[in-house]
Chains A and B, each alone.
Chain A
Amino acid sequence: MTSQINPAWRRRPASSDRLAKIGARFLSDMGDSEKNADFCRAIPFLLDGPSQEWIVSELCEVLTQKGHKSVVFHIPENAGDAQQAVREELKRQCRGCEYCVLPIDSAATARAQRLDHVVLLVPANLDAVRRAYRRIKYLAERDVPEIGIVLVGPRDQHAAWRYFRKLAVGTLRYLDVPLVNFGFLPEQVTPEHGPADQHRDNFLSRISERLIGSEFFQLCAVDAAGIS
């Protein structure tokens, strides 16, 4: 039977041409250790506010616990379009890491850095969904990146799905931008939960597994060229 999955729930088959070129040029004939030595997988997170920084830090910890050495990299606030400087700093800080997670405060920064993958952390309320849509609209004005969504604070999976569906149908209908659903952090999962909280770890693990499983990252050369 032919698949009838709504494009909103499908991952687009390929990311950018730049990524494909680099993959063909460098990755096909490298061992895993060599890949890890030369490349870092960057996962940019576009935050709805500074109060969400803990999510990025915790995801970084979870990735490391799973054997993927990771680091949080903050793009300097005044970086603007200075991609080269950011690349240099990223190369310096992320050497030896498999993943690097980038918390980003504004869509303008994401666009200026020409990121081709972005995960939006979207609070589960209608105003935040509307704001996320405006940010996606802003990002889509130039090269449309791959966009993933994590819902923050819905009461349960059903509520998370309703918010994601609202946003995904809207971006597909008006912007022709499909979204990837990376899950949710329910309202019970808060920064006040201790790091050893099993409930919180379960949700963060699920998100990190989806990110890794769907290869939702941007390759960054940490020894050779800059961000690609």
Chain B
Amino acid sequence: MKLRITASDITDPEELRTLLIDAADELAGAGCRILEPQLSWDGHPILLADAGLHPVLVSFDVAHGQAALLNGLKNAEQLAGTLAWVNQVYDFLQQQQRAPKLIVVSRELPPGATAILSACPNLSLFRYRILNVNGETGLWLERMSGDNAPLKAESVPAPAPAAAPPARPFVVAATAATDNDTLPSLSDEENAYFQQL
């Protein structure tokens, strides 16, 4: 099947949330679990647990990387202070005492990330792109390392330099349903309903 890949964009944070939840393995590693798809804290981050049962907070923003970073740092601190509560709610975390990991996802590297990234071992930054693959919306995630080289992208908006770890793309698999043309279209109300999970 011929793949047609084009750059796309989204403005709805909930759509990005759905894509990030689908790509949780790319963010927190294989075997991670979703604890809360939408925490009611600033920025409504996602809470995951990685394969080692370590809480992982995913902070994101469709437009403002800085907001994602600042909200993420604040929420990570808040989460660290509420670990006792988290342990009560999620028995299987087995009384986790380690500070949570923080993952910040934004379209561009947030300003000031260089200094913060080198000072925070529990912080990871991901840059995202929205792709359209044969009509399907997909998410491309690119991890930014703490090395000097990739962080130059902060001031020069360009693809990640060679020193960066290999990009780990996540693209929703293109499907080949044969009857798209014959199917009825959706009403505005139905469309709105199916915009997000």
Contacts and interface: CB of A to CB of B under 8 A. Distances in A.
Q: Do A and B come from one complex?
A: yes
Given A106-B178, A135-B179, A162-B197, 6 more contacts: A49-B178, A127-B135, A134-B184, A156-B34, A174-B187, A174-B193
B22 A49 contact: no
B127 interface: no
Interface of B: 15, 18, 21-22, 24-25, 33-34, 37, 135-137, 172-173, 175-180, 182-187, 189-190, 193-194, 196-197
A129 interface: yes
Contacts of A123: 173, 175
- Which of B21, B137, B184, B189 has the most chain A CB atoms closer than 10 A to its own CB? B184
19 contacts: A48-B175, A49-B175, A51-B176, A105-B179, A106-B177, A106-B179, A123-B173, A123-B175, A125-B172, A127-B135, A130-B194, A131-B177, A131-B180, A131-B183, A133-B186, A155-B34, A156-B34, A174-B189, A174-B190
Interface in A99-158: 105-108, 123-131, 133-135, 137-138, 141, 155-156, 158
A73 B117 CA distance: 57
Given A49-B175, A155-B34, A174-B189, A135 B183 contact: yes
- Which of B178, B179, B190 has the most chain A CB atoms closer than 10 A to its own CB? B179
Interface of A: 48-51, 105-108, 123-131, 133-135, 137-138, 141, 155-156, 158-159, 162-163, 166, 170, 173-174, 187
Contacts of B37: 162
Contacts of B173: 123
Contacts of A187: 25
Given A138-B184, A166-B194, A166-B197, A125 B22 contact: yes
B190 A126 contact: no
Nearest to A130: B194
A158 B182 contact: no
A170 B194 contact: yes
A79 to B, nearest CB: 14
Contacts of A163: 197
A155 B186 contact: no
A184 to B, nearest CB: 14
A138 B194 contact: no
Contacts of B186: 130, 133-134, 137
Contact of A127 (B172, B189, B193, B196): B172
B177 A137 contact: no
A123 to B, nearest CB: 6
A48 B177 contact: yes
Nearest to A163: B197
A138 B183 CA distance: 6
Given A131-B180, A134-B183, A137-B184, A156 B33 contact: yes
A187 to B, nearest CB: 8
A103 to B, nearest CB: 12
B72 to A, nearest CB: 22
The 7 closest A-B pairs by CB, nearest first: A106-B179, A49-B176, A134-B183, A49-B175, A130-B194, A105-B178, A106-B178
B24 A155 contact: yes
Contacts of A106: 177-179, 182
Contacts of B34: 155-156, 158-159
